Amino acid sequence: MQYENTPISSNVEDRRGQGGGGGLPMGGGGLGIGAIIVIFAISYFTGISPQVLMGGAEIIASHNGGGAPQTQPVSTGPAADPNDPMRTFIAHVLGGTEAVWATVLPEQTGVQYTPAPLVLYDGATRSGCGGARSAMGPFYCPIDKKVYLDTSFFRDMKTKYGGGGDFAYAYVIAHEIGHHVQDLLGILDKVDAAKERVGQTQANALSVRVELMADCLAGVWAANANQKWQILEPGDIEKALATAQAIGDDRLQTAARGYAVPDSFTHGSAAARQQWLTTGLKSGQVASCDTFSK
């Protein structure tokens, strides 16, 4: 991925090396990939239905005791190196999403884009949605409008999920920014309201629609970014698709228990995630990402 010519965002909040966060409850604006794996591991050893565990985790993640933001400060520590190559890469990717969506969102939807800060941390930190842990994977918190990322997840992508590579990492960040775009469009609030009126299986299906749309929006970003800065190199799309496949619910569930339970999917199957990422890449249009009517 050629990202050097993309803008550099000033909205990266680097909390690495600050410590804090020990004993934090699980929380976030959705279940991260790591959290799903943990849930199925617990289910495997306890026999508790994964649907029940996921339902409870989604409630905690979405509402965090009524949705009140956590205001406790993180403890201070040594400042992270601003010249860290990973931080620089993330600042470029985030800057690229900001520049693309600042143009594409109002042009295609009439909604102005407000950037979402991205918080880097290691181990654990606090978010507006509650405690953030590395095992939860990257997530977007709609309460404080921030993306949370422990960069160890990128290492896990290589060692646990069979993914990796700059564009695959960018896809993960762009997916979370996709949730922010959904938030700005009012989609997250509508889905949360709809979930309260249906059962767990239907609520899971709505979560899948949200996640697949975020995959598609990541593709929309990539298509427009490539048009502006020629970021894509041979093999980049294949690596991103491999990552989308590796983090499909069916793949994760099968790895954890030996079989998949479609009714408990919250992010989408491997095939569906690849399909919607490809849709966004091919179209570059937000309108093509309507996962709720297809």
pLDDT of 218 above 90: yes
The string of pLDDT tens digits covering residues 25-43 is 433 345 555 555 554 544 4
pLDDT band at 63 (very low <50, low <70, confident <90, very high): very low
pLDDT at 256: 79
| Mean pLDDT for the stretch of residues 139-151 | 94
pLDDT of 280 above 60: yes
Lowest-confidence segment of 1-15, 66-80, 91-105, 193-207 by average pLDDT: 66-80
Of the chain, the percentage scoring pLDDT greater than 70 comes to 76
pLDDT at 35: 56
| Mean pLDDT for the stretch of residues 243-262 | 77
Which residues, 6 or more positions from 249, have their beta carbon under 8 angstroms from its beta carbon? 36, 208, 260, 262, 264, 265, 266, 267, 268, 269, 270
**CA R_g for the chain:** 18
Which residues, 6 or more positions from 131, have their beta carbon under 8 angstroms from its beta carbon? 21, 24, 25, 26, 27, 70, 124, 125
pLDDT at 22: 40
> Which of 7-16, 53-62, 260-269 tops mean pLDDT?
7-16
SS3 282: helix
How many CA atoms lie less than 13 Å away from 18 in the CB half-sphere? 19
Lowest-confidence segment of 82-86, 102-106, 115-119, 166-170 by average pLDDT: 82-86
Torsion angle of the four alpha carbons 159, 164, 170, 174, in this order, in degrees rounded to the nearest 10: -60
pLDDT at 48: 43
pLDDT of 233 above 70: yes
253 or 131: which carries more pLDDT confidence? Answer: 131
pLDDT at 74: 35
Contact 35, 136 (CB under 8 A): yes
99 or 26: which carries more pLDDT confidence? Answer: 99
Contact 214, 179 (CB under 8 A): yes
pLDDT at 75: 33
| Mean pLDDT for the stretch of residues 191-203 | 92
Q: Which residue spans within the chain are E strands per DSSP?
A: 12-14, 118-121, 124-127, 130-133, 139-141, 146-150
Domain limits of the chain? 12-289
